């Protein structure tokens, strides 16, 4: 480990630096622009450069590695307890150094440029889906004011369009024009969503990791790509349970005095992967119910005694642990039932 630690509080126009030795002796305090920071670090001997995990942290971590430094990221919630009294950039930079010196500190693995690119595309599709949902809800709201009630969901847009386009429609002309405009916007968003989905599926077909993940029931191209884009190297997790806990698929603990009190799932970690795994688990359970297989195997035994949503979360947790095993062992999915047979 480097003897010199430089904590950097990142911002768009100014970066605050705090340097200290491992023993805690302060060696520098500086406020620099991003360009000045790059030039300054190029002239410094190799050191451990620590950032809070934020929007540009992975980029700067890669830049520091290219300059010969050791770059590390710390989650902001682990830095906050070390801020002394008043909060400002200098205090934040100092707190980053103090946090990094803790022997038990957990660090975040910086994302690669390829991971960030896939994440940008994934987020772009999610943003379009949210915008389309907003438009659909606005359309439903307008029609509700005139007595036309439609269920929630994009799947009912065709029914709405049929009502608006009906020559016998009792809506005022201005309302019909507004609804038609909303329908045009919804169609445009749908077209763009489908184009991005096609691109994401093509990306998921290019890597062996994504192909391997898709051998698991309930894991499609989007889930596989989300794991590639947002999850760190799973080797850093000691077990599949640690990976599931990182995703927030474990109960939140309120334990004390030797008595365990478990609550709802913690929802810590990466919410996109967690959400997609829960959706995948739900599709698996619904498929079993549809094919009248709900009473068989592990899922059947759970459904017989537990609420459906609780079983969905338990299955998502199990899928996360299986994903960890598949990626660490470089193996495709193996059905546990067939393995026992």
The pLDDT value recorded for residue 294 is 57
pLDDT in tens, 257-298: 888 888 888 888 889 999 999 999 999 998 877 776 655 678
Angle at the Cα of 290 from the Cα atoms of 285 and 296, rounded to 5 degrees: 60
For residues 145 and 232, membership in a common domain is answered with no
Both 44 and 136 in one domain: the answer is no
Could you tell me if 215 and 191 lie in one domain?
no
The mean of the pLDDT values for the chain is: 91
pLDDT at 337 over 80: no
- CA distances 269 to 52, 116, 246, Å, are 16, 17, 5
Q: What are the tokens at 36?
A: 């000045």
Q: Is residue 291 part of a domain?
A: yes
In a domain, 108, yes or no: no
Q: Let me know if residue 106 belongs to a domain.
A: no
249 and 332 assigned to the same domain: yes
**Predicted confidence band of residue 339 (pLDDT cuts 50, 70, 90):** low
Residue 80 within a domain: yes
In the numeric block, which tokens belong to residue 37?
Answer: 């920071």
Whether 153 and 271 map to the same domain: the answer is no
Residue 117 placed within a domain: yes
Domain-embedded: residue 316: yes
Q: Which of 177, 204, 231 is the last residue before a domain boundary? A: 204
pTM of this structure: 0.85
How sure is the predictor about 158, in pLDDT bands with cuts at 50, 70 and 90?
Answer: very high
Q: What is the residue range of 220's domain?
A: 208-340
Task: From 204, 235, 252, give the residue that closes a domain.
Answer: 204
Q: Quote the DSSP letter at residue 108.
A: B
The last residue of a domain, from among 153, 170, 204:
204
Residues 191, 260 within the same domain: no
**Residue 252 and residue 293 in one domain:** yes
Same domain, 178 and 289: no
Same domain, 88 and 197: no
Mean pLDDT computed over 312-319: 94
Contact 73, 110 (CB under 8 A): yes
Asked whether the beta carbons of 92 and 81 are under 8 A apart, the reply is no
Both 213 and 333 in a single domain?
Answer: yes
* 223 plus 333 within the same structural domain: yes
pLDDT 10s digits, 135-145: 999 999 999 99
Put the strands of the sheet holding 4-9 in their side by side order. Answer: 26-32, 15-21, 4-9, 48-52, 70-74
User: SS3 string of 290-303?
Assistant: HCCCCCCHHHHHHH
In this structure, are 90 and 152 located in the same domain? no
CATH number for the domain spanning 37: value is 3.30.420.10
Mean per-residue pLDDT, 36-40:
96
- Split into its structural domains, the chain has a count of 3
């Amino acid at each position: 480990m480097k003897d010199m630690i430089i904590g950097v509080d990142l911002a768009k126009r100014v970066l605050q630096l705090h340097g200290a030795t491992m023993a805690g002796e302060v060696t520098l305090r500086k406020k620099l622009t991003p360009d000045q920071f790059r030039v300054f670090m190029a002239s410094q001997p190799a050191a451990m450069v620590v950032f809070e995990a934020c929007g540009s942290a992975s980029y700067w971590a890669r830049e520091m590695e290219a300059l010969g430094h050791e770059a590390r990221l710390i989650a902001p919630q682990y830095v906050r307890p070390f801020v002394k009294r008043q909060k400002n950039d200098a205090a934040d930079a100092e707190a980053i150094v103090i946090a990094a010196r803790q022997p038990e500190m957990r660090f975040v693995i910086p994302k690669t440029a390829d991971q960030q690119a896939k994440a940008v595309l994934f987020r772009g599709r999610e943003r379009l889906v949210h915008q389309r949902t907003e438009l659909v809800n606005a359309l439903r709201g307008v029609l509700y004011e005139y007595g036309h009630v439609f269920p929630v969901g994009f799947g009912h847009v065709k029914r709405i369009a049929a009502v608006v386009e009906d020559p016998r429609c009792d809506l005022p002309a201005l309302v019909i024009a507004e609804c038609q405009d909303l329908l045009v916007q919804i169609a445009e968003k749908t077209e763009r969503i489908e184009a991005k989905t096609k691109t994401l599926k093509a990306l998921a077909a290019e890597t062996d990791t994504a192909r391997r993940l898709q051998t698991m029931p309930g894991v499609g191209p989007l889930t596989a790509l989300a794991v590639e884009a947002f999850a760190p190297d799973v080797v850093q997790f000691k077990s599949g349970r640690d990976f599931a806990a990182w995703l927030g698929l474990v109960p939140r603990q309120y334990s004390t005095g030797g008595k365990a009190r478990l609550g709802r799932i913690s929802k810590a970690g990466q919410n996109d992967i967690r959400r997609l795994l829960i959706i995948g688990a739900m599709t698996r359970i619904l498929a079993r119910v549809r094919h009248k297989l709900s009473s068989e195997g592990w899922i059947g035994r759970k459904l017989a005694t537990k609420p459906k949503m609780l079983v969905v979360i338990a299955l998502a947790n199990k899928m996360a642990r299986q994903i960890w095993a598949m990626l660490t062992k470089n193996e495709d999915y193996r059905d546990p039932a067939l393995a026992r047979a």
